[in-house]
Chain A
Amino acid sequence: MPGQKYKVVYIEDNGTAHTVDVAEGWSLMEGAVKHLIPGIDADCGGACACATCQVYVAPGWEDKLPPKSDMEETMLDFAPDVRPNSRLSCQLRMSAALDGIVLNLPKSQH
């Protein structure tokens, strides 16, 4: 439903958790930026051109996400401290299936 909002939990590297509402269709990067969550830089504003919006997807949520595109895969190669559960949050769209998703943030995006 357009305008519908769902919960996202962003957890900073120091353990601080932020639970916020993100509108359907918005990217999880946008959700973090609009709520001033520290730890997401998103230099390019979501054009998948900078790899500065990396997140670590909490266990149990990875399977609910669409697979990585070639572009995301390659951009991630250039992000620091990449792990198997790394994603670029600008490429993840909010939807009912992701209501409550937990994302851990890296120490630094650069």
Chain B
Amino acid sequence: MSEKVVIIGAGQAGAQAVQSLRAEGFTGAITMLGDEAFPPYQRPPLSKAYLLGSFERPRLFLKADAYYPEAGCELLLNTSAKAIHRADRAVELTDGRKLPYDKLLLTTGARVRRLKCPGADLPGVHYLKTIADVDGLQEAFRAGARIAIVGGGYIGLEVAAVGAKRGLDVTVFEAMDRLMARAVSPELSAFYAAEHEKAGVKLKLRTGVEAFEGNGKVEAVIAGGERYSADIVLVGIGVIPCDELAVQAGLASEDGIVVDQNARTGDPHIWAAGDCTRHVGREGHYIRLECVQNAIDQAKHAALAMVGKPKTYSEVPWFWSDQYDLKLQIAGLARPTDTLVLRGKPEARKFAVFHLRDGAVAAVEAVNAAPEYMIGKKLVAEGKKIAAETLADTAIPMKQMA
């Protein structure tokens, strides 16, 4: 009898798993369900080109619609799972149907963290995670509108950049003392703060939002004891892994479904991949990643393990962010104790910050600097030791360091 794979979650990781399962020779049945109305699509452009209006919706989809039937994947959209019955090896849907499985993959992703302060439920307070979120934001997102962005992370700043470009009056509120504090070095934070200010974005650092006010819709933000008028609010304060189904089924989760280096959960019939997981990273400790790279690579490794060809997942994490004409590319995971080496000049808007740990390249942050990023990623993968003076010397081409 042919094997049945069920995939819960139709995002980047789910789509990759379908592709990789077929590429690795899996011939059984595949059913993938997703709670949105759309087949798997790219989320990164949502806060960038799609919001800007320079990238139309059909271009977001990862595959053509015809791909799924052709790949023998039954795609159930607008469909949510209610429970995983591990003893029966079946997924129960909210509509009561039961999908039996031999192997189950959880690619449930993450959901936005919501603010719970007074007024947080007022119309006009937006979040950004889905196509529907951006479409819902578009009408109010017009020149002259005052937008208050809560959270100076990737999402908040990408929206700020698009907003400034489209002529909105943009204010960013960030509780920490610098931008993108969780993701980048202080050097990068300072550089991006200056760029945003140059574009007319007002930055309120060390300023937590206390409440929203408004009559029937949001009209003001109360932050740091002050009142700021606003026509729209966009909240980007991080995401929470969607681990409820796994937890209810008794699988281990610690702010992310716990998986091993083959993307396997504690149940030999269940795997998990992407934003919803916590896994042992290449540095040997548990990490949770929210990125396309992890969705793709972990899904590939899950597929390999599901077809009996397990391979240890140890890829270098990479990330990118587009703000204005600046392409930020990051490889590796930095630590605050790393030694930082600047290569190039930030004022030239083309530079990189290398992170050395015990003399070896542990991470690189590159701004409009593809060679630094690509070769840096290779150096991180190899754990290559390079002297700080060498890295900093722009007279030595990156290629010579590979």
Contact = CB atoms under 8 A, between A and B. Distances in A.
Interface string B354-387: 0000000000000000110111001000000000
29 contacts: A26-B59, A34-B61, A35-B64, A36-B63, A36-B64, A36-B66, A36-B67, A36-B70, A43-B292, A43-B296, A44-B292, A45-B42, A45-B44, A45-B292, A47-B44, A48-B370, A49-B318, A49-B320, A51-B374, A70-B371, A71-B370, A73-B370, A74-B370, A74-B373, A74-B375, A75-B370, A75-B374, A77-B399, A78-B374
Contacts of B67: 36
Nearest to B42: A45
B329 interface: yes
Interface residues of A, number: 20
Interface in A53-101: 70-71, 73-75, 77-78
B64 A71 contact: no
Interface of B: 42, 44-45, 59, 61-64, 66-67, 70, 292, 296, 318, 320, 322, 327, 329, 370-371, 373-375, 378, 399
Given A49-B320, A49-B329, 8 more contacts: A33-B63, A43-B296, A44-B320, A45-B42, A45-B44, A45-B62, A49-B318, A78-B378
A10 to B, nearest CB: 14
Given A33-B64, A35-B64, A74 B371 contact: yes
Contact of B374 (A26, A45, A74): A74
Contacts of A30: 59
Contact of A47 (B63, B66, B320, B399): B320
Contacts of B375: 74
Contacts of B320: 44, 47, 49
Contacts of B322: 47
A33 B42 CA distance: 13
Contacts of B70: 36
A50 B29 CA distance: 30
A70 B374 CA distance: 12
Contacts of A26: 59
B370 A70 contact: yes
A36 B71 CA distance: 10
A78 B378 CA distance: 9
A86 to B, nearest CB: 15
A79 B284 CA distance: 28
Contacts of A77: 374, 399
A60 to B, nearest CB: 28
A107 to B, nearest CB: 14
Contacts of A43: 292, 296
Nearest to A45: B42
A71 B62 CA distance: 23
Nearest to A26: B59
Contacts of B371: 70, 74
Q: Would you list the 10 A-B pairs with minimal beta carbon distance, nearest first?
A: A71-B370, A74-B370, A45-B42, A74-B371, A34-B64, A74-B374, A43-B296, A36-B67, A49-B320, A78-B374
A109 to B, nearest CB: 11
Nearest to B319: A49
A2 to B, nearest CB: 10
A48 B329 CA distance: 10
A35 B61 CA distance: 12
A44 B399 CA distance: 23
A103 to B, nearest CB: 18
Contacts of B59: 26, 30
